[in-house]
């Protein structure tokens, strides 16, 4: 055959393949035995490989576009709801915890629909009640992160929440006695230094005027508490996945958001003066805010779709790279589109943080390559 590769066939009425070849139905699978093919199914190996690689590039571009568009737009909506003044009286939407209730409810419905549309035949999945403890921290943590937007700007919040490695390494060192490498400490130093420098740099008066209650220490404190609760949530999810390995992504999403919706409902509507009633009344008086909240929730649900697909097709490292670069783009969009100008010192801090995060991704990639070579 042409294109630089020769496949050997036995001379029989039908063509019997006696050379290993990539499976046509599954590009990741290789067939080594004899396989009878009709002449019109024979594909030159380089052409087939080129088609597979091109398809992978398209899939990756699809994942990047999906994650970026969903979460960047969600960030714009989150910032809009938290800073915009609605109606002729220029009222603020003060009930930001309501976003968590709405998000949990929409994601609960979404995951239920996905499970019904694509049911799994696997048994031994995690029961719904096993998520109750993770649901508590998954309710409190994000609520603190959203509440922080009353006190610090959206770029500051994104930057602070990007420093998840700091509490992980501190807890690992102090509690579990884990020893990290010098490059890992360097990553943490870059991120911690960048966040600290950003916090200490003076924000523009325009940015401060958009905040409901400017208070940098309180805002950053809420973000770091958010990270601490997220750490417990992730550890509990990992424990559930280890005990019930046949649990799918939609099952986890359903279980987490079921408990999240229950806890948030109790918090928002558990007594007559609860803030949920006021949030609904605000949305009735200002439908624009209600639509922004709905779009915010849909972006979160769609973004989860793309994250699940990315991890299943390309692995968690690729997903981490996409989401990390998305955070940087979100800061740029917030600065340019939403009118949050950053000073040169603040931009330097942003570059410092994402340099540390990028180096961390590179170190993970190196570890993955070493594991592949030893296998």
Residue-wise pLDDT for 173-207, tens only, equals: 776 677 888 998 899 899 989 998 998 888 888 88
Residue 48 counted as domain residue:
no
Are 254 and 108 in contact, with CB atoms under 8 Å apart?
A: yes
Question: Which helix (H) or strand (E) element contains residue 21?
Answer: strand 21-22
190 lies in a domain? Answer: yes
pLDDT of 354 higher than 90? yes
Question: Are residues 34 and 68 both part of a single domain?
Answer: no
Q: Which residue's entry shows tokens 């400017």?
A: 214
Specify the pTM.
0.77
Is the residue at 55 inside a domain? no
3 state SS of 273:
coil
Confidence class for position 8, pLDDT limits 50, 70, 90: very low
**How would residue 50 be classed by pLDDT, with cut points 50, 70 and 90?**
low
Q: Are residues 22 and 139 in the same domain?
A: no
**Average pLDDT score over the chain:** 83
In percent, the amount of the chain with pLDDT more than 70 equals 85
**Residue 245 pLDDT exceeds 80:** yes
| Alpha helices (runs of H) in 148-248, residue ranges in sequence order | 154-161, 165-174, 182-200, 205-209, 216-243
- Does one domain contain both 69 and 33? no
N- to C-terminal Cα distance for the chain? 34
Distance of alpha carbon 237 from alpha carbon 372, whole angstroms = 26
- Helix axis angle, 132-147 relative to 97-117, nearest 10°? 130
Residue 148 lies inside a defined structural domain of this protein: yes
**If we measure between CA atoms, which residue out of 289, 290, 229, 295 comes closest to residue 263?**
229
Judgement on whether residues 230 and 297 belong to the same structural domain of the protein: yes
365 in the same domain as 268: yes
The DSSP letter of residue 37 is E
The DSSP code sequence of 137-163 is: HHHHHHHHHHHGGGTS-HHHHHHHHT-
Phi then psi for residue 17, to 5 deg, are -80, 125
Residue positions counted in the chain:
375
Selected residue with higher pLDDT from 32 and 89: 89
Number of domains in the chain: 2
* DSSP3 helix / strand / coil % (the chain, rounded to 5): 70, 5, 25
Same domain, 129 and 256: yes
Q: Is 306 within the bounds of a domain?
A: yes
**Distance between CA atoms of residues 303 and 74, nearest Å:** 9
Q: Write the pLDDT tens digit of every residue in 143-177.
A: 999 999 999 999 999 999 888 888 777 767 776 67
165 and 113 in a single domain? The answer is: yes
Q: Is residue 47 part of a domain?
A: no
The per-residue pLDDT for 49 is 53
Domain extent for 65 = 60-374
When pLDDT is cut at 50, 70 and 90, the band that residue 139 belongs to is very high
Specify if 182 maps to a domain: yes
Instruction: Indicate whether 29 and 149 sit together in one domain.
Output: no
On whether both 179 and 35 belong to a single domain, the answer is no
Tell me whether residue 285 is in a domain.
yes
The reply to whether 33 and 147 lie within a common domain is no
The answer on 247 and 297 residing in a single domain is: yes
The answer to whether the CB of 283 falls within 8 A of the CB of 290 is yes
Q: Does residue 171 share a domain with residue 34?
A: no
């Amino acid at each position: 055959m042409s294109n630089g590769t020769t496949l050997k066939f036995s001379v029989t009425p039908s063509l019997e393949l006696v050379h290993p070849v990539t499976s046509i139905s599954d590009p990741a699978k290789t067939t080594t035995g004899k396989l009878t093919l009709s002449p019109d199914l024979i594909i030159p190996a380089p052409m087939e490989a080129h088609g597979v690689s091109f398809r992978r590039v398209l899939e990756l571009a699809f994942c990047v576009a999906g994650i970026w568009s969903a979460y960047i737009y969600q960030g714009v909506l989150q910032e809009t709801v938290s800073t915009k003044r609605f109606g002729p009286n220029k009222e603020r939407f003060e009930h930001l915890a309501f976003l968590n209730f709405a998000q949990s409810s929409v994601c609960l419905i979404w995951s239920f629909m996905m499970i019904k549309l694509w049911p799994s035949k696997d048994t031994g999945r995690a029961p719904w009640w096993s998520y109750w403890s993770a649901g508590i921290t998954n309710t409190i943590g994000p609520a603190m992160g959203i509440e922080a937007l009353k006190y610090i700007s959206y770029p500051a919040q994104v930057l602070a929440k990007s420093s998840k490695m700091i509490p992980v390494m501190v807890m690992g060192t102090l509690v579990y006695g884990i020893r990290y490498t010098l490059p890992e400490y360097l990553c943490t130093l870059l991120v911690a230094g960048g966040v600290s420098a950003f916090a200490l740099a003076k924000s523009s008066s325009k940015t401060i005027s958009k905040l409901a209650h400017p208070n940098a220490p309180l805002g950053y404190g809420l973000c770091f508490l958010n990270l601490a609760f997220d750490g417990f949530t992730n550890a509990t999810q990992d424990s559930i996945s280890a005990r019930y390995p046949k649990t799918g992504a939609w099952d986890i999403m359903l279980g987490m958001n079921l408990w999240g919706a229950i806890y948030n409902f109790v918090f928002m509507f558990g007594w007559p003066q609860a803030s949920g009633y006021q949030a609904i009344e605000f949305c009735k008086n200002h439908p624009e805010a209600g639509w922004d909240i709905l779009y915010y929730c849909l972006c979160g649900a769609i973004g989860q779709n793309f994250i699940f697909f990315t991890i299943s097709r390309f692995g968690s490292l690729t997903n981490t790279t996409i989401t990390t670069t998305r955070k940087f783009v979100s800061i740029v969009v917030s600065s340019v589109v939403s009118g949050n100008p950053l000073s040169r010192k603040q931009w330097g801090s942003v570059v410092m943080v994402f340099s540390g995060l990028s180096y961390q991704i590179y170190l993970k990639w190196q570890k993955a390559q070493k594991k592949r070579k030893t296998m």
